[in-house]
A and B are shown apart, each in its own frame.
Chain A
Amino acid sequence: MRYEAPETLDAAVALLAGESGVAKVLAGGTDLLVQLRSGMLEPALVVDIKRIPETRRIDAEAGGFRIGAAVTGAEMGEHEELVAAWPGVVEAMELIGSTQIQGRATPGGNLCNASPAADCVPALAAAGATARIVGPDGSRELAVEDLVEGPGKIRLKRGEFVASLFLPERAAGQGDAYLRFIPRTEMDIAVVGAGVCLTLDGDGRCTAARVALGAVGPRVILAEEAAAGLVGTTLDEAALEALAAATSAAATPIDDKRGTTDFRRKVVGVLARRAAAVARDRAQGEKA
């Protein structure tokens, strides 16, 4: 295995595009190093992108935020403006692993590892985030939910990698939240995850909603019908119960070592309902 730590995006692209064998991008390494060690992955080349300045910054952009793919969870949590604008996204990132993992794990890695249970993906999808992909043909932006194809699979061409993520400007009356279920209090992979982003008008009526579900399908599920059901409501108990039922219906979970189909289907509704209540309160909190 060859290790390279280029200092520019172009150099990284050239390295990745020039490798005929398996080439992997190293950001935080909290998934990659486990795969290396277990022997399930034997890349010819590992490209460490952490020495590229663009991957390590959080910049204000167009009223929103551009987050380098190799920014850590801990760094996101320390960014006050980001936390104020997108608390759900930051919480989702901060839920991943321990304090030690937070010092390394990155949103770019969490996205590109393409685990169905990735915590930050439903939150990013609910927030309407996009990923900036750089490659031999230049750069492009893709909605995060479109990047992931299935477990462990992302839609990237040879030589391409995710350089940054973009979170749009948070609109007035908007609030987001992410909740997940794990059997312990920490250190587990999500058995179920639910990200919700809501916009309320001055009367507390929902004008827009995005609901994204994790660990209940091969990839993140944008529960569009469930979200549409919230629009026009005041997010009262009946609306939230309807959301729970609709998200449970939208889920396509499986039985595995972490949970059963029935459990996941039921709990995803519970979490979506609870996350929507948090998002609602956040949206109203801003208005107040």
Chain B
Amino acid sequence: MPDQSVLPRQFRVVGQRKRRPDGIDKVTGRARFGADMTAPGMLWGLVLRSPHPHARIRSIDTSKAEALPGVKAVVTGRDFEGGERDDVSINCMAGGKALYDGHAVAAVAATSKHAARAALKLIEVDYEVLPHVTDVDAAMQPDAPLLHEDMVTDGLQPPPDRPSNIAARHEIGHGDVETGFAEADEIVELSFKTEATHQGYIEPHACVASVSPDGSADLWVCTQGHFMVRNVCAAMLGLESSQLRVTASEIGGGFGGKTTVFIEPVALALSRKANRPVKMQMTRAEVFRATGPTASSSVDCRVGVTKDGRITAAQAELRYQGGAFAGAGADMGAMAIFTPYDIAHVKAVAWDVVTNRPKLAAYRAPGAPMAAFAAESTLDEAARRIGMDPLELRLKNAAREGTKAAYGPTFPRIGLTACLEAVRDSAHYKAPLGPNQGRGLACGFWFNFGGETCTTVNVNKDGTIGLSVGTPDIGGSRASMCAMAAEEFGVPYEKVRTVIADTASLGYNDVTDGSRVTFSSGLATIQASRQAIKRLCQRAAIMWGIDEEAVVWEDGHAKPASPNAGDFAPLSLAEIAAESANTGGPIAGHHEVNAEGAGVSFGVHLCDLEVDPETGFVKVLRYTAAQDAGKAVNPDYVEGQMQGGSAQGIGWALNEGYVYGEDGKLQNAGFLDYRIPVASDLPMIDAIIVEEPNPGHPYGVRGVGETSIAPPLAAVGNAIRAATGVRLTETPMAPPRILAALDAKVGDPDGRMTGQERDAPGKKARDGLPDDGLP
């Protein structure tokens, strides 16, 4: 970790609620998003998708489509065989099998949308329909339909001798859980299931591709990482990276879902074949069917506590399916599940499973929300068993500086207890509740990420600053970059303009993910600015005829370091820049880094809601989210991240979820029946920013984008438990489920647990205890 000494300091620009520089284009309709681009001679591209969840593709006859007037190119999996044919490539265009309902099998480019649509109907695909499986527990059964003949579970000793749908097993932990459980006065054991959700960004994927016969190519695309798009597409199509220039459009939401490619390589392949630019734009139904939703999960969780509230042991088995390819992220869930707490004995086993569903993509703290749902619901039940306030139980066991997390690291300064105390001290925590109302609390954790970053800053001759970063702005990061550069240079915020440079203009930048941009691009911006400031001082030294060591930078001016250096009036940045032609040419700074020290992030959420006992309808009444931001560069947008993540988590908890029929087809591929929260579903969301500086960043910044989606599932579930007496263990906790649980309680005098746990579909008779062998 680089030594980034975080000293208490007064900030001039950082920490202020500055207006975002890209805002005016966005309120006037001028901002150009993925679908807002056109090109001369442009064709329209459309994709033909499999109607079957699992089918062998015997043959594809494209001749009739190709013969249709206006059709300029048709591609199938064959057109991708020249390049790298990995999971991502096969996901973009099927090979020998269609692996899920919506899997791309062919694509056309035509002079009009009409012609393209007509051409799709003329493509004849001969399918041999195969048995399918979409549920994670069912997919783990020995007799389940097999997706990949060559998939042998990784992480088992000895390796299995036959293929299965289980891609990998992971285990993390420390101590000995049985010793820990032996110390417990109460052991709570529950099983949970969560359905897959979708990021639900409002902008469907869109791009314009143009490939020339000489191999040079341009791609305009809405993405969280245009350098990733370049590298992946170049490898897939056999292009050279230098020849493929990718420009990131404004991006209409991503939340992790735009960290991979879907239509981009297809558009390039069509353009190459047609020798014309090709525009592609997914429909909303395609977005749901064929982009990257989350994993669905099945989790067994067991927690032991003493009567006085010490967590003695925690154990979990997490089974995630992430669609038709390996990489469900169960390992991330296992690493995150008990991390908010200082527990001596922890064990978490993760199973990574494939099913006939679209390949998952990241979604805000991927893998963590379902893990937190299990852990935080189980803890809530444990607090009830011992009669302790759930916040007190958490405070008593909260991870703090020096706590060794089960996934390895020993934490430096972290903000969990500060978040818990902030919630405890809030007016919300003490507010009275009415009949049928309940309050739920939950904690959440996310790792955060640094990663490869490359940033350039240019000092213009008029004293303004041009900043080029390579990380697409998905939530106001240009405003934060401007603020950090202005802070360093000592110029007004308005004097800095930040652009997202294309792939030909900067070195590689990792995608905008892992809550990394304000941290990593911010860090690189600060360091690049410092380099430019060093050069400004050199130029001032030349102008004054003194040694550069004798010049310092203060308040946007070069000044002699001491009276000994000479008696010179301070030179402003603008004055030095204006003279730059005479002192050595343009002035710039640059920084490239593979950033470490991102600094983990914790959040604590509090939810009040009311349940209609006759219908199971849930109304969220009040919501508070506290989160450690390290240092909030722009509090408006930190709050926005917390509020947005909370809303997404509430949606996940209550009404969002993929619905697959017995036929393996997605039944709710639209915003009508995939029910994200609307404005009238939510109250105001109070955001409490806690600032425990991150020692890994010059300003103490931590990523803030993801943590906020981890706590809401359990916060909502715990509030429903408090309001009704029933524990929901399956998302979405939609009215039919709640009403069924309430009805089951009527027949259950104990009323503590519902039929939900006993009847959880897919939960096998394993005494609720995770085991280590294959199921």
Contacts and interface: CB of A to CB of B under 8 A. Distances in A.
10 contacts: A181-B615, A183-B617, A183-B655, A184-B677, A184-B681, A189-B673, A260-B740, A262-B743, A263-B736, A266-B743
Interface residues of B, number: 26
Given A257-B668, A266-B739, A186 B673 contact: no
Nearest to B677: A184
A257 B615 contact: no
Contacts of B739: 262-263, 266-267
B736 A257 contact: no
A132 to B, nearest CB: 31
Contacts of B675: 183-184, 187-188
Contacts, number: 59
Contact size class for A?
A: 20 to 34
Interface in B599-617: 614-617
B735 A258 contact: no
Contacts of A100: none
Interface string B661-673: 0000001100111
A258 B732 CA distance: 12
Interface of B: 117, 285, 614-617, 619, 654-655, 659, 667-668, 671-673, 675, 677-678, 680-681, 734-736, 739-740, 743
B735 A183 contact: yes
A38 interface: yes
B622 to A, nearest CB: 16
Contacts of B677: 184
Nearest to B614: A270
Pairs A-B, 3 closest by C-beta atoms: A263-B736, A185-B680, A257-B659
A89 B28 CA distance: 39
A217 interface: no
A259 interface: yes
A266 B744 CA distance: 14
Interface in A179-207: 181, 183-189, 191
Contacts of A257: 659, 667-668, 673
A188 B659 contact: no
A257 B655 CA distance: 12
A39 interface: yes
A183 B673 contact: no
Contacts of B735: 181, 183, 191, 259, 263, 267
Contacts of B743: 262, 266
Given A258-B673, A260-B736, A263-B739, A181 B678 contact: no
A187 B671 CA distance: 9
A183 B654 contact: yes
A100 to B, nearest CB: 12
A270 B616 CA distance: 11
Given A39-B117, A260-B740, A267-B614, A185 B681 contact: yes
Given A183-B654, A184-B680, A267-B739, 19 more contacts: A38-B285, A39-B117, A183-B734, A184-B675, A184-B681, A187-B671, A257-B667, A259-B735, A259-B736, A260-B736, A262-B739, A262-B740, A263-B735, A263-B739, A263-B740, A266-B739, A266-B743, A267-B614, A270-B615
Given A257-B668, A263-B735, A184 B655 contact: yes
Contacts of A39: 117
A39 B611 CA distance: 40
Contacts of A266: 739, 743
B243 to A, nearest CB: 37
Nearest to B680: A185
Contacts of A186: 678, 680-681
Contacts of A259: 735-736
B51 to A, nearest CB: 12
A184 B732 CA distance: 12
A257 B615 CA distance: 17
A270 B614 CA distance: 7
A189 B670 CA distance: 13
A187 B672 contact: yes
A187 B679 CA distance: 11
Interface in A242-273: 257-260, 262-263, 266-267, 270
Nearest to B673: A257
Contacts of A260: 736, 740
B617 A181 contact: yes
A17 to B, nearest CB: 28
A187 B678 contact: yes
Contacts of A188: 672, 675
Interface string A37-58: 0110000000000000000000
Nearest to B666: A257
A258 B678 CA distance: 17
B577 to A, nearest CB: 50
A188 B734 CA distance: 13
A186 B615 CA distance: 16
A221 to B, nearest CB: 19
Interface in A125-159: none
Nearest to B671: A187
B614 A184 contact: no
A44 to B, nearest CB: 15
A276 to B, nearest CB: 14
Contacts of B117: 39
Contacts of A181: 615, 617, 735
A91 to B, nearest CB: 16
A133 B365 CA distance: 56
| Residue with the greatest number of chain A CB neighbours at <10 A, chosen from B285, B615, B659, B743 | B615
B602 to A, nearest CB: 30
Interface string A82-124: 0000000000000000000000000000000000000000000
Interface string A10-43: 0000000000000000000000000000110000
Contacts of B655: 183-184
Nearest to A187: B678
A9 to B, nearest CB: 32
A135 B678 CA distance: 42
Nearest to A262: B740
Contact of A189 (B615, B667, B672, B740): B672
A191 B739 CA distance: 14
A258 B352 CA distance: 30
B668 to A, nearest CB: 6
A105 to B, nearest CB: 14
A260 B739 CA distance: 11
A189 B672 CA distance: 8
Contacts of B736: 259-260, 262-263
A189 B673 CA distance: 8
Given A257-B659, A267-B614, A184 B668 contact: no
B281 to A, nearest CB: 13
Contacts of A183: 617, 654-655, 675, 734-735
A266 B739 CA distance: 9
A267 B680 contact: no
A263 B743 CA distance: 10
Contacts of B615: 181, 267, 270
A257 B195 CA distance: 13
Contacts of B654: 183
Nearest to B654: A183
A117 to B, nearest CB: 11
A140 B568 CA distance: 98
| Residue with the greatest number of chain B CB neighbours at <10 A, chosen from A39, A188, A263 | A263
A125 B667 CA distance: 30
Nearest to B121: A39
A262 B616 CA distance: 13
A241 to B, nearest CB: 12
A136 B735 CA distance: 48
Contacts of B614: 267, 270
A39 B659 CA distance: 22
Nearest to B618: A183
Contacts of B672: 187-189
Interface string A219-257: 000000000000000000000000000000000000001
Nearest to A188: B675
